[in-house]
Structure formats: C-alpha cells, structure tokens
Amino acid sequence: MAADLLQSLALVPLTLLPIMNPLSGAPVFSMTVGDDPAATRQLARQVAINCWFVLVGSMLVGTYVLELFGISLPIVRIGGGLLVAASGWRMLNRNDDDEVHAAVKRTQPGAWTHAEVVRRSFFPITFPLTTGPGTIAAAIAIGAGWPRQLDMYVTGALVAVLGATLTVGVVYLIYRHAAALMARLGEVGALVMVRLMAFILLCIGIEIMWTGWAELNGIHAP
C-alpha cells in the first residue's frame, strides 16, 4: 500500500514537470522580473501559487467538465498531446516576435512595483508558459485515473495534491534562481537548453497522442 502511494505521489511531478518545463521558461522569467532580488522572490512565489491552483483544479474538476461535454479521456490525450507537440515545435522555431516575448517587452519590468509584479504573474509566466493547455490536459488525465470509491478517491486526491505541491516547489526553485542559472549558462547555453527542452517536449507530445490513439483503437501502447 505504501509503495502504491509513493508511486502515485511520484507520478504527478514525473508526468507534469517535463511538460511544464520550467527550465525553458527561466529565460523569459528572468527577462520579465529583471535583476531585483525582492521582485524575483515575489514573482516566483506568486507563479508557484498560480500553478498550484491550476494543477489542483484541473485534477479535481477536469474530469467532470469532460463528462459534462461528453469528451472521452483518449480524445483529451490526443488533443493535449497535439498541443504539447505544437508548443515544442513553436519553441524550436521561437523568435523574438512570439507572443510570450512580446508580452514581456510590453510590460517594461523596470517600471513595475512589487504589487504590479504580483498582478502580472498569471500571463505570460503562469499561462501559457508554465501551465499551458498540454499541462492542463495531463493534469485532467491524472485526475481521471483516480478510483471512484469515496475513500480511495479521497486518498488519491490527497496524494495528487501533495504531488502538485512538490511540482510547484520545483518550479519555484528554478524561477527563484533563474537569473543565476542564465548567468551560468550564458546566452549560447541558454539557447541550447531551450532548444533541447523543446525537442523533448515535442517527443512527449507525440507520445501522449500515440497513447490516446492506441486507447481509441485498442492497441497496446509501449
């Protein structure tokens, strides 16, 4: 029983972190907040809180929303995988004119107060950069796998919430130290890292789509 709970606990960050990919968001986060240490801590904390609510909300109510609209989980996997793969493809071909960078440039972080940093934390850092549609689809899929018996459902939900807390803890640490990470990598290193993570994200999206397609057609997915 304990081993099953630990496995369920590890499933959440192992599933979500590669899709959320906070390492690829670190350069944008660093550009957004500038070099103010206090603002960096504040924004990283607020983004982590935002991500926690998005993940937990998707896991708890996402399945019921799907049932309300008559959407099956394999279709969600295919749609979510397509979005993840598309996100990876956009990252591979990203330039300075994409929507995230454009939003960052418009906000002029040097003129922000700390209250403005908190208010602007949702877009673009939380969504779509960290918890985009692919992450939400994956979180819904996790919630859909919980048993429907009340006691087991509550246990699964509590374990998943704890897993979501661990996940956003990693996001907080990476964003909290984004400036130091970018300084160590340098401009070329950051570019290589973003492209590598983008390729991994593209592969994850294709894998999610294949899993959904296999479920629809009764194929045993590897």
pLDDT tens per residue across span 96-141: 445 455 545 544 445 566 667 667 788 778 987 899 777 888 898 8
Asked whether residue 28 is assigned to any structural domain, the reply reads: yes
158 has pLDDT over 80: yes
Mean pLDDT, the chain, rounded, equals 81
Question: Of 19-33, 45-59, 84-98, where does mean pLDDT reach its minimum?
Answer: 84-98
Residue pair 143/62 in contact by the 8 Å Cβ criterion: yes
Distance (Å, rounded) from C-alpha 131 to C-alpha 125?
8
* Residue 218: predicted pLDDT: 79
Give residues with Cβ within 8 angstroms of 92, minimum separation 6.
195, 198, 199, 202
Asked whether residue 222 is assigned to any structural domain, the reply reads: no
Most confident of 2-6, 55-59, 148-152, 179-183: 55-59
Asked whether residue 75 is assigned to any structural domain, the reply reads: yes
To the nearest whole percent, how much of the chain has pLDDT over 90? 19
Higher-confidence residue of 175 and 6: namely 175
148 backbone dihedrals φ, ψ, rounded to 5°: -90, -10
Q: How many domains does the chain have?
A: 1
* Residue 145: predicted pLDDT: 77
**Unique residue bearing structure tokens 């940093």:** 117
Within 45-165, strands assigned E span none
Asked whether residue 111 is assigned to any structural domain, the reply reads: yes
Asked whether residue 141 is assigned to any structural domain, the reply reads: yes
Asked whether residue 208 is assigned to any structural domain, the reply reads: yes
List of long-range contacts for 182-191, beta carbons under 8 Å, 24+ apart: 182/26, 182/27, 182/30, 190/26, 190/27
Range of the domain at 37: 2-217
pLDDT tens per residue across span 165-209: 999 999 999 999 998 888 888 777 877 877 787 787 788 778 878
To the nearest whole percent, how much of the chain has pLDDT over 70? 86
pTM here is 0.76
List of long-range contacts for 148-152, beta carbons under 8 Å, 24+ apart: none
